[in-house]
Amino acid sequence: MEIIQLNNKPFKKYISSIEIAESCTKIANQINSDYKNKRPLFLAVLNGSFIFAADLFRKINLPSDISFVKIASYSGTNSTEKINNLIGINENIEGRDIIIIEDIVDTGNTLHYLFEILKEKKANTIQIATLLFKPEAYKWNYPVQYVGKTIPNVFVVGYGLDYDGFGRNLNSIYILNENNMLNIVLFGPPGAGKGTQSEKLVNKYSLIHLSTGDIFRANMKGETDLGKLAKSYMDKGELVPDQVTINMLEAEVNKYPNAMGFIFDGFPRTVPQAEALDKFLAQRNTPLTLMLALEVPEQELINRLLLRGKDSGRTDDQDENIVKNRIKVYNEQTAVAAAFYQKQNKYVAVNGIGSIDEIFQRLCQSIDTKSVTP
């Protein structure tokens, strides 16, 4: 799922440029066949329809005319009164076969206004060609003859449609991605390439990478209250309680109020941690999307790590027993977390054998399938 930011709001892809092109061709073919031996006058309603009008008109193979109209509305002296004014019709409408080009038909109020004017000007026929149509919002009875796609009553941007002036230049159509952050728990045994894949995911989905190891070190180095508390347990040789860890994580998440989502790396490692994370994310109304676990056979990991140890000089990568133990610890932790997320139908195992790009494609596919799609 590709997510973009427009004016600080997240939008996700809803209708691809390929689907838009197909809709355009479909409508053009219908018009080309319905208006054989006629010379229609297309009236494109500005601003939103300019891109659709340009693409559609290039596919029309009839002798035809096009003109661009705009409905300028302004408030009358009475503040509740809105006065519409149609600008841009310079052609003689009488006796013409009109095709109104709209980017989107929502309530249909715009159409109603146009229809009445065109009828008054004695148009021969009036039809509507719109890329998008929201039947649930439509309040009028004018037949909408040519429709690219029917959509529910949602707010969309792109391909001429704007959000507060932004997004008209997007090739695809996007929908608001409210309360729908992409939150991923990423697991991968040592040697599975988790670091590389995290970085690629962060770039593609504009996520914040949160590693509990990094957060611990930063808190202790910065001597924050939580860092000092964690250190007091460690100094006594005790495990840092889950609540302290989760509090650190919360403090970190809260630093990014506009984040598109997070990758939690190395967390949760226990069921109480997983429960605490769920509770915390539920309070923010941004639940976990899925847990991704990279799977690589043990012998392959051992070979990779020993090879890496030779090049990097990392001592923990050089001793086969230490390597095996790290993998064992990982498997135990993953099993716990995997079982927890399996119950929620959020666990996805991903084959971690192959090139970096192959593995990355698999991860993206799992994310795109799991994320909410229209």
The residues binding ligand 5GP (CB under 6 A) are: 48, 104-110, 155-157, 161-163
What is the rounded distance in angstroms from the CA atom of residue 343 to the CA atom of residue 362?
Answer: 22
Amino acid, single-letter form, for residue 112? H
Nearer to ligand 5GP, 175 or 348 (CB): 175
In the complex, minimum distance from the CB of residue 115 to ligand 5GP, in angstroms, rounded to a whole number: 12
Q: Nearer to ligand 5GP by C-beta: 48 or 352?
A: 48
> Cβ closer to ligand 5GP: 52 or 347?
52
Nearer to ligand 5GP, 99 or 276 (CB): 99
For residues 48 and 190, which CB has a smaller minimum distance to ligand 5GP in the complex? 48
The H or E element spanning position 74 is: strand 65-75
Query: What is the DSSP annotation of 287-353?
Result: ---EEEEEE--HHHHHHHHHHHHHHH--GGGT-HHHHHHHHHHHHHHHHHHHHHHHHTT-EEEEE--
CB of 222 to ligand 5GP, least distance (A): 44
Nearer to ligand 5GP, 164 or 223 (CB): 164
Show the CA angle centred on residue 197, arms to residues 249 and 279, nearest 5°. Answer: 30
Nearest distance, CB of residue 373 and ligand 5GP, angstroms: 18
Matching residue, tokens 């608001």: 176
Strand bridging mode 261-265 / 208-211: parallel
Asked whether the beta carbons of 140 and 157 are under 8 A apart, the reply is: no
Given 3-state DSSP classes, what are the helix, strand and coil percentages for the chain, each rounded to the nearest 5?
A: 40, 25, 35
Partners of 161 in the beta sheet? 158
Measured in degrees and rounded to the nearest 5, phi and psi for residue 143 equal -65, 135
Nearest approach, Cβ of 89 to ligand 5GP (angstroms)?
Answer: 17
How far apart, in whole angstroms, are the C-alpha atoms of residue 292 and residue 252?
A: 21
Query: To the nearest whole angstrom, how small is the minimum distance from the Cβ of residue 48 to ligand 5GP?
Result: 4
User: Between 163 and 280, whose beta carbon lies closer to ligand 5GP?
Assistant: 163
175 membership: H or E segment, kind and range: strand 173-176
Q: What does the alpha-carbon distance between residue 68 and residue 98 come to, in Å, rounded to a whole number?
A: 12
The minimum distance between CB 161 and ligand 5GP, in angstroms, equals 4
Tell me the closest approach of the beta carbon of residue 325 to ligand 5GP, in angstroms. Answer: 56
